[in-house]
Amino acid sequence: MKTIFEKNNELNGINFFDEDIETKNIDFIDKKYLRKNNIGLPQTNELEVLRHYKKLSDLNFCIEKGFYPLGSCTMKYNPKVNEKLANLENFLNLHPYLKDEDVQGALELMYNLQEALKTITGMDAVSLQPAAGAHGEFSGMMIVKKYFELKGENRKKVIIPDSAHGTNPASANMAGFEIIQVKSNDKGQVDINSLKELLNEDVAAIMMTNPNTLGIFEENVLEISDLMHKNGSLLYYDGANFNAIMGYTNPKLMGFDIVHLNLHKTFATPHGGGGPGAGPIAVVKELENLLPAPIVQFDGENYHRNYNIENSIGSVKSYFGNFGVMIRAYTYILMMGKYLKNVSEHAVLNANYLKEKLKNYYNLPYNEPCMHEFVLSGEKQKETGVSTLNIAKRMMDKGIHPPTIYFPLIVHEAIMIEPTETECKNVLDEFIQIMIKITEEIDKNKEIVLSAPNNTPVKKVDETLAARKPDLKLKTEEI
């Protein structure tokens, strides 16, 4: 496949413009701003441009193209009605500087979304401002910091499990906290005795995901909550795995004080490729006045944005968040209603089905009932010279997007699998057979796995070299 620049001047199709457009009528522009040389853009016709970008899009992998079991990212299907409503003209063309009285419909949607998220999380107040998950985490940590500053306490430490998402320690550190790691026990959960040893008057909070990054529910979460609160500390809930618990429990019942949600994961908004995202943050009543501004409020007649929140950590994003993502998420919540509980039920069922079918072929470090995801290990295959990375690349040959690998770090050769609720049993069975087939290939002809991917647009690359010296020009012979 040639690049658009390589196609330059090869085509003679009709163009719908006059190449000899006169420029004598642009005298009103200062000559210093006029281009003196050719800009160097490809000179192809409209049809060839369309064909070029269509071919490029065909190279991409997406949820509509195949199975996407990307652990900890909830790459579920996004119903097309979400896109249709997010692209309604009166939503799409809103300007952020419009006055509240001119955007009552949009503010009503935001207010209703806040109320829905309060119900779903059990929390008392919500800000829609944060742009994504890690941004929500950082906002939460800034709330923790402000909370203790107002109390006159200089707490400097945040406890984070050794299986946590990598953004947790990063967010806490950016907020100025020292990170203290707490170990997991043999069931893949927070070790209570280790936690007790870490608690002192310097600990501001603990950041937890429940179910955790291993896909295992923290059975002792109420004891952890009690220990933290008796220590005067707060509990932060990372909502990345919220897809597993909707309708069955919520962070408030578990004793958490601050929550962020990933609208672009749990509530079906498209995810990946750097965006878009939204990471609303919800808090208990005691922390309500520390939320980032603005909060959308309703006075009985009109909706308005309140920027005057006492002790607010301030605005954390321009304007009032990623509105298009909010529309999609609110649409999904309205569409699912009470059946959000079924979403979690099917996600957990699918994950346990895969786990039980694959645990005899790959190592299962924590043989516990899982929630929406689980973590296998490729250590058995590694002993033959085939790494988890090789296995992931071979999945690509077979039309499967690789799951998260080498994470969480406490599992060697980790393969984290999250099927989500939107995949049917036939797809899961195909995936099971592919995973088993790869183990058979490793036993009989491991070279085909070691050389993978063999039939993708870009073949196997030197990943270290590619990271250090990226060559972004796709060469014809590589296709």
Question: 328-353, pLDDT tens digit by residue?
Answer: 999 999 999 999 999 999 999 999 99
Report whether pLDDT(12) > 60.
Answer: no
How do residues 158-167 score in pLDDT, each as one tens digit? Answer: 999 999 988 9
Query: Where in the sequence is the domain holding 250, given as residue range(s)?
Result: 81-338
Residue 433 within any structural domain of the chain: yes
Residue 353 within any structural domain of the chain: yes
For tokens 């979403």, name the residue: 343
In the chain, what percentage of residues exceed pLDDT 70? 94
Do 247 and 308 share a domain, yes or no? yes
Do 395 and 426 share a domain, yes or no? yes
- List C-alpha distances in Å: 106 to 93, 269, 329, 373: 11, 18, 14, 35
> In the prediction, which pLDDT does 305 show?
95
Distance CA 90, CA 87 (A): 8
Where a domain ends, among 292, 315, 338? 338
**Average pLDDT, rounded, for the chain:** 92
44-53, 125-134, 467-476: least confidently modelled range: 467-476
Do 235 and 119 share a domain, yes or no? yes
Do 256 and 329 share a domain, yes or no? yes
> In the prediction, which pLDDT does 269 show?
82
How do residues 213-267 score in pLDDT, each as one tens digit? Answer: 999 999 999 999 999 999 999 999 999 999 999 999 999 999 999 999 999 999 9
> In the prediction, which pLDDT does 64 show?
86
Do 275 and 370 share a domain, yes or no? no
**Domains: count for the chain:** 3
Residue 440 within any structural domain of the chain: yes
Residue 68 within any structural domain of the chain: no
Report whether pLDDT(479) > 70.
Answer: no
Report whether pLDDT(303) > 60.
Answer: yes
- Tell me which DSSP letter residue 238 carries: E
How do residues 232-243 score in pLDDT, each as one tens digit? Answer: 999 999 999 999
> In the prediction, which pLDDT does 137 show?
98
Output the DSSP codes for 259-302.
EEE-HHHHT-----TT------EEE-GGGGGGSPSPEEEE-SS-
Report whether pLDDT(120) > 60.
Answer: yes
The CATH number of whichever domain residue 350 belongs to comes to 3.90.1150.10
Do 295 and 205 share a domain, yes or no? yes
Residue 474 within any structural domain of the chain: no
Distance CA 323, CA 329 (A): 10
Which pLDDT band, with edges at 50, 70 and 90, does 477 fall under?
very low
Report whether pLDDT(49) > 60.
Answer: yes
Q: What is the mean pLDDT of residues 392-407?
A: 96
**Phi, psi (rounded to 5 degrees) for 423:** -95, 135
Do 168 and 112 share a domain, yes or no? yes
Residue 258 within any structural domain of the chain: yes
Query: CB pairs under 8 A, 24+ apart, for 433-442?
Result: 434/395, 434/398, 434/400, 435/358, 435/361, 435/362, 435/395, 436/358, 436/361, 437/398, 438/391, 438/394, 438/395, 438/398, 439/361, 439/362, 439/381, 441/394, 442/381, 442/384, 442/386
Do 135 and 283 share a domain, yes or no? yes
The CATH number of whichever domain residue 110 belongs to comes to 3.40.640.10
Pinpoint the alpha helices (H) of 304-424: 323-336, 340-358, 379-382, 388-397
Residues in the chain: 479
In the chain, what percentage of residues exceed pLDDT 90? 76
Which pLDDT band, with edges at 50, 70 and 90, does 476 fall under?
very low
Where a domain ends, among 284, 319, 338? 338
Do 324 and 347 share a domain, yes or no? no
59-73, 151-165, 197-211: least confidently modelled range: 59-73
Distance CA 153, CA 169 (A): 21
Do 227 and 133 share a domain, yes or no? yes
Residue 65 within any structural domain of the chain: no
Do 134 and 231 share a domain, yes or no? yes
Where a domain ends, among 26, 59, 92? 59
Report whether pLDDT(139) > 80.
Answer: yes
In sequence order, what are the beta bridge partners of 207? Answer: 236
